[in-house]
Amino acid sequence: MTHSPRWPPGTPVRTRRRSVERTLAGRLEAALARPAAQQPHWPDPDRARAVVRELAAAEPLVTPAETRRLLDRLGAVARGEALLLQSGDCAETFADTTEPHLRANLGVLRRMALVLTHAAGLPVVTVARAAGQYAKPRSAAVDADGLPVYRGDIINSGKPDRAARTPDPERMARAYHHAREAMAVVRRLACGELADAQALHEENRRFVSTAPGGRRHTARVAEIGRGLRFMTGVGALAPRLGEIWTSHEALLLDYERTLLWIDTEGPEPGLSSGLAHFLWIGERTREPDGAHIAFAELLANPIGVKIGPRTTPEQAVEYVRRLDPHAVPGRLTLISRMGHDRVREVLPPIVEKVTASGRQVIWQCDPMHGNSRTTETGHKTRRYEDILDEITGFLEVHRALGTHPGGLHLEATGEDVTECTGGAGGPSEDDLPARYRTACDPRLNAEQSMGLALTVAELFAAGTARSTEARR
Ligand code: PEP
Ligand code: MN
């Protein structure tokens, strides 16, 4: 296999596959020439081009071999033999590129995965929104003060002044260096302390014995403990969890176009991102004729597409046809984010139409983005109860249709923030200002995340989702 990290064209090409390179180069330029929503206007476009050139020559963060391995794992999810759990910050910040912050977020991801593995009796593929989740789509170009809106640390600063909010292409280079540091931490934790099932279980045991509402889940956690003791008792090696994969929204195309490998292993040659294993296209940039979907078509990585309540079944089938032309299970994840009050009505015709097309996609529930609201004090928040209700509706829909509810996509942190309301002993609206720290959307805190995972475990274990029970 020949890979070339020297990309895009214009940089030296060290491969014998020049014609493949030329074809892909042409297709990439054509994709990027399409209209692209949500891109910054760099005040100095020459400087931006120079940064893109510099980044193109940098060291990739992930390899095509790793990304293929993830594709393989996701194939099992698509076939109903595994689950996908994806979680992390809405917006990573440069300031939070720290070991404690990543340890907290990845730790709660792994603890949730342990619980879901037990409840569903299936392996859980853990994917972090980390090491590159720096660009944010925004619904308005200016904020409440009339300043250019914050678009994520990779583009501008959240500080409320005009100079700080001006898009700065040097931030792409800084983002790469932060992603690189974060990636090293992810790798270290994934095969170190966050691989140790027994240690994760001990944290869960402390949670159920000390957290409000934890006692309700004592029996399940005790059962997991017995399972672990059984495995070590019969002489299995201490149970270890697998990889932690990285992901972010492929939003800022000047960044995404850098560090592309050529991957000739798949059904047709493609570009494998060297920036993350899994990339998704957001609700605001999924225009079928736009640059983002055309870019995703060229990628060899597993791809997600967010689908909101305005998505038609026909559009969903078009995403499947365009983004999974070779019918590779695990290649495409449709991430529904319908809102708890719409999911039961909007999702079924989409699932039916895609199923009728004969393709196996991963159905993933994002119960966060359809349930955002703003309080009277101006805090963007989400109710734990709405989040749980959307997951419940998602499970009901898939049970009724006989399809596999393959995954969850959460915005959650292991830190003790007050951003979402509710859950057992969770913050009220009045509590939100105490530790409201997110750079963008509200995240579940550690207790809310574990409460949610354990309650979703009940729904899985019960075999039928009972919405009345879940809404309690
Ligand atoms: C996000 O995942 O942070 C996001 C912006 O989601 P969506 O595209 O679904 O609104
Ligand atoms: Mn978000």
Q: How many CB atoms within 10 Å of residue 373? A: 12
Rounded CA-CA distance 269/64 in Å is: 12
81: helix, strand or coil: coil
- 247 CA from centroid of ligand 1 (Å): 13
- 254 CA from centroid of ligand 1 (Å): 19
294-326: pLDDT as tens digits: 999 999 999 999 999 999 999 999 999 999 999
Q: Is 286 in the pocket of ligand 1 (CB under 6 A)?
A: no
Rounded CA-CA distance 142/138 in Å is: 9
Ligand 1 atom, smallest distance to 366 CA: 9
- 283 CA from centroid of ligand 1 (Å): 6
Nearest ligand (C-alpha, residue 249): 1
Report which of residues 307 and 2 the model is more confident about: 307
Q: Is 292 in the pocket of ligand 1 (CB under 6 A)?
A: no
pLDDT band with cut points at 50, 70 and 90 for residue 467:
very low
126: helix, strand or coil: strand
218-276: pLDDT as tens digits: 999 999 999 999 999 998 888 899 999 999 999 999 999 999 999 999 999 999 999 99
Q: What is the DSSP string of 399-458?
A: HHHT----EEEEEB-SS----SB-STT---GGGGGGG---SSS--B-HHHHHHHHHHHHH
Residue of the CA atom closest to atom 3 of ligand 1:
90
DSSP state of 252: -
In the chain, count of helices (H) and strands (E)? Answer: 15, 12
Q: How many CB atoms within 10 Å of residue 254? A: 22
DSSP state of 149: P
pLDDT of residue 238: 86
At 166, give phi and psi (nearest 5°).
Answer: -75, 130
Nearest ligand (C-alpha, residue 304): 1
276: helix, strand or coil: coil
Token representation of residue 179: 């992603």
Helix axes 99-120, 446-462, angle to 10 degrees: 10
b (16+ CB within 10 A) / e for 307-342: bbbebebebbbebbeebbeeebbbbbbbbbbbbbeb
Token representation of residue 412: 């959650």
Pairing of strands 407-411, 83-88: parallel
Mean pLDDT of 98-118: 98
Ligand 1 atom, smallest distance to 308 CA: 9
Best CA proximity match to 173, nearest among 10, 28, 44, 48 = 48
pLDDT of residue 18: 84
Q: Which of the listed residues 139, 149, 284, 338 should we mutate to test ligand 1's pocket, taking the one with most ligand atoms within 8 A of CB?
A: 284
Best CA proximity match to 59, nearest among 319, 300, 354, 261 = 261
Q: What is the DSSP string of 228-281?
A: HHHHHHTTPPPPB---EEEEEE---HHHHTSSEEEE-SSSS-EEEESS-SEEEE
Q: Is 197 in the pocket of ligand 1 (CB under 6 A)?
A: no
- 218 CA from centroid of ligand 2 (Å): 32
Is residue 197 within 8 Å of residue 228, measured between CB atoms?
A: yes
Q: Is 282 in the pocket of ligand 1 (CB under 6 A)?
A: yes
Q: Is 309 in the pocket of ligand 1 (CB under 6 A)?
A: no
- 122 CA from centroid of ligand 2 (Å): 28
Mean pLDDT of 385-394: 98
Q: How many CB atoms within 10 Å of residue 226? A: 10
Rounded CA-CA distance 250/237 in Å is: 39
Planar angle of CA 98, 102, 107, nearest 5 degrees: 150
Ligand 1 atom, smallest distance to 129 CA: 2
Is residue 229 within 8 Å of residue 223, measured between CB atoms?
A: no
- 352 CA from centroid of ligand 2 (Å): 27
Residue of the CA atom closest to atom 1 of ligand 1:
90
The neighbouring-strand residues paired with 86 are 127, 409
329-344: pLDDT as tens digits: 999 999 999 999 999 9
pLDDT of residue 463: 72
Q: Which of the listed residues 136, 306, 333 should we mutate to test ligand 1's pocket, taking the one with most ligand atoms within 8 A of CB?
A: 306
Residue of the CA atom closest to atom 9 of ligand 1:
283
CA torsion angle 436 440 442 444 (round to 10):
-100
Q: What is the DSSP string of 187-214?
A: HHHHHTGGGBHHHHHHHHHHHHHHSTTG
Mean pLDDT of 147-172: 97
The neighbouring-strand residues paired with 333 are 304, 362
Rounded CA-CA distance 413/425 in Å is: 17
Token representation of residue 33: 């020439």
pLDDT of residue 12: 40
Report which of residues 460 and 466 the model is more confident about: 460
CA torsion angle 137 139 144 150 (round to 10):
10
Mean pLDDT of 42-49: 98
341-379: pLDDT as tens digits: 999 999 999 999 999 999 999 999 999 999 999 999 999
pLDDT of residue 461: 84
Rounded CA-CA distance 40/138 in Å is: 11
CA torsion angle 249 251 252 258 (round to 10):
60
Report which of residues 296 and 7 the model is more confident about: 296
The pTM of the full predicted model, rounded to 2 decimals, is: 0.95
Q: How many CB atoms within 10 Å of residue 75? A: 18
The neighbouring-strand residues paired with 374 are 380
404-458: pLDDT as tens digits: 999 999 999 999 999 999 999 999 999 999 999 999 999 999 999 999 999 999 9
Q: Is 90 in the pocket of ligand 1 (CB under 6 A)?
A: yes
- 125 CA from centroid of ligand 1 (Å): 21
Q: How many CB atoms within 10 Å of residue 43? A: 11
28-39: pLDDT as tens digits: 999 999 999 999
Radius of gyration of the CA atoms of the chain, in A: 22
Ligand 1 atom, smallest distance to 284 CA: 8
Ligand 1 atom, smallest distance to 306 CA: 9
Nearest ligand (C-alpha, residue 283): 1
pLDDT of residue 237: 83
Rounded CA-CA distance 154/111 in Å is: 30
